Amino acid sequence: MGAKLSVNINKIATLRNSRGGNNPDVVQVAIDCQHFGADGITVHPRPDERHIRYQDVYDLKKIITTEFNIEGNPLEDKFVQLVLDVKPEQVTLVPDAPGQLTSNHGWDTIKERDYLRQIIGVFKKAGIRVSIFVDPVEQMVAGAADTGTDRVELYTEDYARNFHKNKEQAIAAYIVAANVANQYKLGINAGHDLDRDNLAYFSGSIPTLLEVSIGHALVSDALYYGLENVIQLYKRALK
């Protein structure tokens, strides 16, 4: 069947916020993405609400018919409460600093083990599947297995940056990381800078990949090819 495609709609909210008002309507876009074949919707609300707003998350919950994935830093009490209120199918924990432009590293699952155990337990008690953002490093993936998380999300910026230079070399660390995750029976997600060019090779190299969340590249492609067409192009790449 291939991995599932969760569409991150943060960039839709960025466009809306740049002008004020409600155009484009992020709720309607989420409805349309699901209608066009997306397997899930991802949002990453940040404390300054520069794209997805906290109210958006509550509004989106009402229309999700696939899977809802909320990303964010659990050090923010407001984020934790939001997730517990909404109860998405999955929460993805990302160690972002408050003013960070975009996610750029995974958890140190060894140093942060005790904290991760505690906060992951909070979400799992509420019946929410947990994924944590990790770099493709054997020790970090092995450490994740000791936190109680259900899945790891492999941070793929390094892969994307090096894909056109040497794709075999670019994927190597991710194959090793995936093998470690398989050994510990951790589910595998992936995300960050995956696009139409590099997605098929990544997916084909990691057959146990369960889900990718893609926003920036997919929304950028939609400007040229249309949202419905692009979602299908990405889904085909995953097969």
| Measured distance CA(164)–CA(216) in Å, rounded | 19
Pick the catalytic residue: 51, 67, 153, 192?
A: 192
Q: Which of 67, 71, 153, 211 is catalytic?
A: 71
Classify each residue of 123-148 as buried b or exposed e, where b means 16 or more C-beta atoms within 10 Å of its C-beta: beeeebbbbbbbbbbeebbbbbbebb
Q: Which residues contact 70 (CB under 8 A, 6 or more apart)?
A: 42, 43, 44, 45, 57, 82, 83, 86, 88, 90, 91, 92
67 is catalytic: no
Q: Which member of 44, 51, 67, 211 is catalytic?
A: 44
User: Is 44 noted as a catalytic residue in this protein?
Assistant: yes
Torsion of CA 145, 147, 152, 156, to 10 degrees: -100
Q: Is 35 a catalytic residue?
A: no
Q: Of 104, 111, 41, whose CA–CA distance to 73 is shortest?
A: 104
Catalytic residue numbers read 44, 71, 192
